[in-house]
Structure 1
Amino acid sequence: MIKSAKRWTVNRPNEEIVKQLEKEVGIPSLHAKILASRGIIDPTEVHSFIHMDETTMHDPFLLYDMEKAIHLIESAIAANKKIVVYGDYDADGVTSVTVLTTALESLGADVTFSIPNRFEHGYGPNKKLFLKLYEEGASLLITVDNGISGVEEVAYAKSLGMDMIITDHHEIGAVLPDADAIIHPRHPEGHYPFGELAGVGVAFKLATALMGTVPYELMELVAIGTVADLVPLRDENRYFVKEGIRRMRNSKRPAIQALARISSTEQAELTEESIGFMIGPRLNAAGRLGDAYPAVDLLKTDDSTHAMTLAKELDTLNKERQAIVTAITSEAEKMITDLYGEVVPHCLVIAGKGWNAGVVGIVASRLTEKYYRPSIVLSIDSESGIAKGSARSIEGFDLYAELSKNAQYLPHFGGHQMAAGMSLAIEDIGILRDNLNGQAEQVLTAEMLSPLIEIDVPLSIDEIDVGVLESLDSLRPFGMAFKKPMYMLEDLTASSVRKIGAAKNHMKLELTDGAQTLDAIGFGIGSLADDITPGVKLSITGDLQVNEWNGNKKPQLLIRDIRSDDWQLFDLRGMREPSRWLPTVPTDSTSFIAFNAQTADYFRPSLQGIDIQLMKGDQLPKADNIVLLDIPDESSQLEELVKSMQADRIYAHFHVPESKYFEGLPGRDQFGWYYSFLKKRERFDVVSNAEQLTKHKGWKKDTVYFMSKVFSELEFVKIEDGFVSVLETVGKRDLSEAPSYKQRERQMKLEEKLLYAPYMELKQWFDEILNRAIDGEEQ
């Protein structure tokens, strides 16, 4: 048995619907399963989904206050008033700034942009910064990707005499700011058809309304911000990303070319994953460590050389950010160990002095991933007495709702079920920690604290080929609300298992269903190779990709998790030194069993204090795994043990001090010759002359001793002081009546069955025993 590292939930799509989609839409079964598992089952809907076009976009004037905003902006442009686009420091924010300023510039506006510094100004509207902009001549402020929560700050800007337009997509509070116009897809008085736009999506809508046409050349920026902000990839968002990525692959924009090059990404092969893991983090890095201006400068520049310089700057910042994250994560993990030892609480609240507030959200994500607990990571500022931080959650723990129960300790907090940000007084950290742990204990069960993998696309090998995988591009992008498939293949065996990598910490398998094969690779799980025995049935979940090597393309499964419900036989025969096999044996719930006391004595010094259980009568151990150190005198002893324990794993060592299998039994002609030899002599000194006799006859070393003992047990001879003498016999007796003969015969059969049988024969023998045990239980 191989236990999965995570808890699996398998949602199988309706097979009839899958076949219907295959037939009516003409798509492969893999595509049909992905769509069916996500509830896209109507053939017409599937066609529209795959062939999405510009008709998906909604009229921007359906957004509340759009006409009012356009009038304000056009009036400001006509009067040559200074317009400032006020953004945010993340990837959604900097793309929003770029989209709107580019549109305004094309209309001849006097426009600049401003982005608050995370450490000096914090998130969103800031009075100090608003005053500075006013003093610099700003007449109209347009927020992008922020502003909806800035009630006091907007009122302050208005009191200075500036006009305010808010464009945002974040949660709307009980009171709206008193801005001149508020463009928000979920405006309480609006009726926009799609409420899940990213900040850049809202900015793009405003740009479209201003320009009177869709600025497709900005779509690639919309794609970046939409993917990076993790909004649902439905409706317009899906089209923005799909069309944006298509354009990015052929883009002449210096920023796209430079970011692809600096992240070692083929521009022609860009995907939503490239944005999420390569481009987005580099655009975010500037704002996490300081000012986000370089990110906007990069996106707006027309100069390829300057773009490359800025991309390198962001790449350096991103590496610095990664180092900071690694250092803080290490400190946080040490705190967790020091605070809790091995018993991790239901919710983690970790705080450190001087931690970079720009990366604590990433650290929280890492802690949640490692410990599978809701995690809050706080940066303590001793001078201000304030701790600022971010939180990440797990399924079943509504972070925003649980934080709301502690609102009296959180002067500033916001977010949603899975992520949040907050600030609080340092002295309240302990109270928040205790409260959230108590709340989590009430909400989260032991099962919910086990990491979860949601599998929605079970496959067989015959559904997978290079063409099918490459055509998955038609279903992209994957992301929020249209998650990337998690594939599963069942009832496969591994025809080959290899540890790979310099440290042998990765594993490569060749999986087979008996007819076809599929390569699979697991990074960081090389030790699992020791757990995969020949013929064991495996279920494996992970991602599929096309692996290209020397011009050849093959499908490959990237292993996420693996399990088997089969019992397993591990062959340790012939590995004399325990140091060679002991590290591969689980330490928990394992019984080391010996049938002979001599075996236990032999192994005790080398088993590092492990208890050896000597089988006596009906006394049977209880354990999930058993290590069979030797072979029994009777096969029935072993059969009874195996049937009773029904272990998940059996480790067969079968140590035999002196194997008799290859020595064999002397033939009847040998016994006959030796008996005649003895009859011709009164006495034979077996001690002194046995070796000479065996050499003369070409027999094995102990053959003479063995035959002498058999004759003695049959009362054909007597042995005294090492001399053998023939006795007068009464009648004939068969050699098999001698206990020594029987024991040798029995040992040879046991050695043949247990010690020298091929692996699959030995496995089959155990299988038959276990099957009889199961059949007996069911009767």
Structure 2
Amino acid sequence: MLKSKMNWTFTYNQNEVAKETNIVQQLLAKKGLTEPNEIKSFLNPTEAQLQDPQLLEGLIIAKKRIDQAIAKGESILVFGDYDADGVTSTTLLVETLHELGAMCDYYIPNRFTEGYGPNPNAFREAKRQGFDLVITVDTGIAAFEAAEVAKELELDLIITDHHEIQGQLPVALAIIHPHCSDDYPFKSLAGVGVAFKLAQYLLGYFPKQFLDLVVIGTIADLVPLEGENRVLAKLGLDYINQSSRAGIIALKEVAGIKGRIDEQDIGFGISPRLNAVGRLQTAYPAVELLLTDDKAEAQRIATEIDLINQERQEIVKQIVEEATALVEQDPEANKHVIVLAKEGWNEGVLGIVASKLVRTFQRPAICLTLKSEQGKAKGSGRSITAFDLFENGMSIREKFLQFGGHAQAAGMTVAIDKIAELRIAFNQLAGNQLAPEDYQEQAQIDASIDLSLLSIVMIQEIEQLAPFGMANPRPLFHIKAEPTEARQIGANKNHLKLTLTQESHQLATVGFGLGSLQHKMTTGTTIEAIGHLQVNEWNGSRSPQLLVQDLRVQERQVFDFRGSKLWKQELTSVDKATVFVYFHQGSYSLHPNAIYFEQLLTANKIEVTELVILDLPNQLADLSEVLKLTQPDNIYTCFQTDHSHFLTGLPNRDDFKWFYGLVLQRGKYDHNQEQHLIIKNKQWKKNKIEFIIKVFSELEFVKIANGVVRPNPDVEKKPLTDSHSYQLAIARSEAEEVLYYSNYQQLKRWLKSQIESEHSMKEEVINGL
């Protein structure tokens, strides 16, 4: 058996196998899309499906004030955020205002010296420099203190944002936010989506020239790709592939993106680089890159940003290692929610670190950097699907100095002396709300696929459902097949390349980070894989491929290392429920955690998921008892034999009769002096002669003194089976035949039968083999 790492949920009847002709229709039906017009609108969204910007409250007031500022020559400051959504929003609104003829500049706070969002000092400085109007993008909905300062300074403030509202609203001339607009039906726009709506209203036309910025910010901010977000992302992907924006062209080059840009290129190539700048320093270079028309300047900034991203990756790697060690040092304190704090951690990357901890430990994680001189800690949190981080954080809002974010991500500041309380509170909240399965990554499986139906055409049809992301995940498919090849790949051998086979059909698969599972699968065993279908292109050829997300085996497996001295290398990682059992004390190089079979049989209940058999039992019944008691999921046969009763052959009745006749005829047999004669004439081995003598001695057919064997004149007729040594040899030979010299399928069948059937050992030996 191989347990899945994820919690698998089949969203369909598992007996239904998807057909090539209707796979897209099946997937659309699961989304509730069955009408032709609905399907057409989903697969081919158009500008006409977007909501009218005028439905957003605050736009009329905002436009009136912006028009007034332009007419009077007043200076306008665009106040943005330092992430990819924020810098694309800033760029978009600056370009809009420039097109309208406004005098404007932009400002993005420094994460390390100012923290998140508008702050009083920044507004005071803006007023001092002569700005009369501040427009926030992707921020401001929780800037209560800064908004009050703006009012005192007579600095007009327009807030555009999309983050969660914290019970009340800041004081502002206008607030443009989907959740503040009862008439606006779509509530999940990204910050750049809200900025785009403002730009459209200000310009009086649909500004498609900004769609490249919109798709980056929308995908980067992980908002649900449904409704308007899907339309904007789909149109944006079409536009970004035609975009002449120098910054995007340069980013594409440094990110190694070739061909058409898709949502994965944005999510894993473009947005991490735009985010990296604000994580380690000021985010201004990211905005400068997107604003510039100079190709050489764009290339220079993009190269600089790429180097910063590489530095960010190294910092993340180091902090993740330190954070993982802290969790493992005190697992009980972080049982339901991980809350870590350490001096010197770079607060700019703690959201990424928290995300990696969530993936590793499958529970919410909060990472904070200690600022001892200020008596506070700042950081970020990420969560699992079942735990709303924002809602739960707001329920204990009094424990934070600052707090904000979304259901799955939040930023916070907390007094150092409150960190322990915060950890306890979050763990109590999660402990009361979550079930054990909630701590597993959730896998919503869309369809089961037969390998005979897989084709490039099918995969291309599935790609019509893109762009994939939140609320529109890439379809997850389920396949049952046999592994015919499994090997580790990658520089560190941490990835898995697997070939799955159904009858004559094969499918190549790749599982990133699953290299350790290579030794967890056996041939002839059905495995189940879930993953995403894609087209693999190699040396000019194209073929279907599965990008594996998880694997499981629901039947017991037998791993055959008989006669191999390399089994220890294969069993490098075992869990606490792995038991190593041996049958011969002192006769085997034992594993340090091994247990003698008689001790195992008399021990209190032991949980056994994997049973490692280190040596051959003297009789099948001993192993049968162990198997029935332990009921292991998997069995590893690691035994070898130097002296085989089965191969050498036990003496038969004629052998015993000949030797006894020799002793009777001669009156004695001197084993030390005469054994070489028997070995030469009968071609027997020495141990065979000694075994016959031992059996006769136990039956009292002969008497032995100083190696001289003499017949017993008072002999009593007995069958050979009365000899204990003879019985052991028969049992040992039988064990060797069944366990050592059988083929793999015979071995597997016998071992599983002892666990799964009610037949006796004798019946299995006679009938099973």
Normalising to structure 2: TM-score of the pair? 0.88
How many Å apart are 1:264 and its aligned residue? 1.3
Q: Is the 8 A contact 1:385 1:425 kept in 2?
A: yes
Q: Is the 8 A contact 1:507 1:521 kept in 2?
A: yes
Q: Work out whether 1:695 is the aligned partner of 2:695.
A: no
Q: Distance in 2 between matches of 1:655 and 1:133?
A: 81
Does the C-alpha gap of structure 1 residues 774 and 92 become closer, same or farther in structure 2, counting only changes over 3 Å? Answer: farther
Q: Which amino acid aligns with 2:64?
A: H
Per mean C-alpha deviation after superposition, the further-off stretch among 669-678 and 693-702 is 669-678
Q: Which amino acid aligns with 2:591?
A: L
Does the C-alpha gap of structure 1 residues 610 and 14 become closer, same or farther in structure 2, counting only changes over 3 Å? Answer: closer
Q: Work out whether 1:664 is the aligned partner of 2:649.
A: yes
Aligned to 2:398: 408
Deviation per CA, 1:683-738: give whole Å up to 9, x if none. Answer: 54443222233223444444555566677889987766545667999999998898
> 281, 293, 304: which one pairs with 1:290?
281
Q: Is the 8 A contact 1:694 1:703 kept in 2?
A: no
Per mean C-alpha deviation after superposition, the further-off stretch among 699-708 and 366-375 is 699-708
How many Å apart are 1:224 and its aligned residue? 0.4
Q: Is the 8 A contact 1:493 1:535 kept in 2?
A: yes
Q: Which amino acid aligns with 1:195?
A: K
Map 1:131-170 → 2, pairs under 5 A:
131-170=124-163
Deviation per CA, 1:511-546: give whole Å up to 9, x if none. Answer: 223342222233344332222233233222333333
Q: Distance in 1 between matches of 2:709 and 2:85?
A: 99
Deviation per CA, 1:394-441: give whole Å up to 9, x if none. Answer: 333332233223333334322233222222333333333333333333
Aligned to 1:110: 103
Q: Which amino acid aligns with 1:688?
A: Q
Q: Distance in 1 between matches of 2:603 and 2:146?
A: 79
Aligned to 1:244: 236
Q: Which amino acid aligns with 1:131?
A: R
> 522, 526, 533: which one pairs with 2:515?
526
**What SS class does the counterpart of residue 493 from structure 1 fall into?**
strand
Q: Distance in 2 between matches of 1:705 and 1:343?
A: 65
Q: Is the 8 A contact 2:14 2:448 kept in 1?
A: no
Does the C-alpha gap of structure 1 residues 672 and 100 become closer, same or farther in structure 2, counting only changes over 3 Å? Answer: same
Q: Work out whether 1:562 is the aligned partner of 2:527.
A: no
Aligned to 1:208: 200
Map 1:15-54 → 2, pairs under 5 A:
28-54=21-47
Q: Distance in 2 between matches of 1:606 and 1:738?
A: 31
How many Å apart are 1:225 and its aligned residue? 0.7
Aligned to 1:13: 12
Does the C-alpha gap of structure 1 residues 156 and 18 become closer, same or farther in structure 2, counting only changes over 3 Å? Answer: farther
Aligned to 1:508: 497
Aligned to 1:626: 611
Q: Which amino acid aligns with 1:763?
A: K
Q: Work out whether 1:390 is the aligned partner of 2:387.
A: no
Per mean C-alpha deviation after superposition, the further-off stretch among 78-87 and 471-480 is 78-87
Q: Is the 8 A contact 1:593 1:626 kept in 2?
A: no
Map 1:113-132 → 2, pairs under 5 A:
113-132=106-125
Map 1:339-418 → 2, pairs under 5 A:
340=330, 344-418=334-408
Q: Work out whether 1:440 is the aligned partner of 2:433.
A: no
Aligned to 1:91: 84
Q: Distance in 2 between matches of 1:119 and 1:583?
A: 44
Gaps spanning 5+ residues in structure 1: where?
none
Does the C-alpha gap of structure 1 residues 756 and 717 become closer, same or farther in structure 2, counting only changes over 3 Å? Answer: same
**What SS class does the counterpart of residue 397 from structure 1 fall into?**
coil
Q: Distance in 2 between matches of 1:526 and 1:149?
A: 45
Task: Figure out how many residues of one structure are paired with residues of the other and give that number.
Answer: 760
Q: Which amino acid aligns with 2:677?
A: Q
Q: Distance in 1 between matches of 2:699 and 2:114?
A: 102
Q: Is the 8 A contact 1:11 1:37 kept in 2?
A: no
Aligned to 2:530: 541
Q: Which amino acid aligns with 2:222?
A: L
Aligned to 1:269: 260
Q: Is the 8 A contact 2:17 2:448 kept in 1?
A: no
Aligned to 1:613: 597
**What SS class does the counterpart of residue 305 from structure 2 fall into?**
helix
Q: Distance in 1 between matches of 2:37 and 2:239?
A: 26
How many Å apart are 1:306 and its aligned residue? 0.8
Deviation per CA, 1:442-461: give whole Å up to 9, x if none. Answer: 33344434444443444333
Map 1:271-350 → 2, pairs under 5 A:
271-338=262-329, 340=330, 344-350=334-340
Q: Distance in 1 between matches of 2:327 and 2:103?
A: 53
How many Å apart are 1:95 and its aligned residue? 0.8
Q: Work out whether 1:234 is the aligned partner of 2:226.
A: yes
Q: Which amino acid aligns with 1:351?
A: A
Q: Is the 8 A contact 1:593 1:614 kept in 2?
A: no
Q: Is the 8 A contact 1:600 1:614 kept in 2?
A: no
Aligned to 2:633: 648
* Superposition RMSD in Å: 3.7
Deviation per CA, 1:328-385: give whole Å up to 9, x if none. Answer: 33443444455x2566333333233343332222232233333333322233333443
Q: Distance in 1 between matches of 2:81 and 2:128?
A: 21
Per mean C-alpha deviation after superposition, the further-off stretch among 727-736 and 683-692 is 727-736
Q: Which amino acid aligns with 2:69?
A: A
Q: Is the 8 A contact 2:579 2:595 kept in 1?
A: no
Q: Is the 8 A contact 2:91 2:290 kept in 1?
A: yes
Q: Work out whether 1:420 is the aligned partner of 2:410.
A: yes
How many Å apart are 1:230 and its aligned residue? 1.5
Q: Distance in 2 between matches of 1:617 and 1:293?
A: 69
Q: Distance in 2 between matches of 1:177 and 1:97?
A: 21
Q: Distance in 2 between matches of 1:621 and 1:2?
A: 22
Per mean C-alpha deviation after superposition, the further-off stretch among 167-176 and 85-94 is 167-176
Q: Distance in 1 between matches of 2:601 and 2:348?
A: 67
**What SS class does the counterpart of residue 586 from structure 2 fall into?**
helix
Does the C-alpha gap of structure 1 residues 274 and 642 become closer, same or farther in structure 2, counting only changes over 3 Å? Answer: same
Q: Is the 8 A contact 1:661 1:748 kept in 2?
A: yes
Per mean C-alpha deviation after superposition, the further-off stretch among 276-285 and 669-678 is 669-678
Q: Which amino acid aligns with 1:418?
A: Q
Normalising to structure 1: TM-score of the pair? 0.87
Aligned to 1:199: 191
Q: Which amino acid aligns with 1:495?
A: T
Q: Which amino acid aligns with 1:222?
A: V
Q: Distance in 1 between matches of 2:34 and 2:224?
A: 19
Aligned to 2:767: none
Q: Which amino acid aligns with 1:274?
A: D
Q: Distance in 2 between matches of 1:181 and 1:577?
A: 72
Does the C-alpha gap of structure 1 residues 55 and 155 become closer, same or farther in structure 2, counting only changes over 3 Å? Answer: same
Aligned to 2:765: none
Q: Distance in 2 between matches of 1:46 and 1:641?
A: 59
Aligned to 1:225: 217
Q: Is the 8 A contact 2:163 2:406 kept in 1?
A: no
Q: Distance in 2 between matches of 1:198 and 1:587?
A: 46
Per mean C-alpha deviation after superposition, the further-off stretch among 287-296 and 196-205 is 287-296
Q: Is the 8 A contact 1:50 1:474 kept in 2?
A: yes
Does the C-alpha gap of structure 1 residues 286 and 663 become closer, same or farther in structure 2, counting only changes over 3 Å? Answer: closer
Q: Which amino acid aligns with 1:588?
A: A
Q: Distance in 2 between matches of 1:270 and 1:568?
A: 43
How many Å apart are 1:96 and its aligned residue? 1.1
Q: Distance in 1 between matches of 2:718 and 2:122?
A: 112
Q: Is the 8 A contact 2:522 2:559 kept in 1?
A: yes
Q: Work out whether 1:69 is the aligned partner of 2:62.
A: yes
Q: Which amino acid aligns with 2:627?
A: V
Q: Distance in 1 between matches of 2:87 and 2:606?
A: 62
Aligned to 1:755: 740
Gaps spanning 5+ residues in structure 2: where?
762-769
Q: Distance in 2 between matches of 1:286 and 1:619?
A: 60
Q: Distance in 2 between matches of 1:108 and 1:559?
A: 52
Q: Which amino acid aligns with 2:79?
A: Y
Q: Work out whether 1:487 is the aligned partner of 2:477.
A: yes
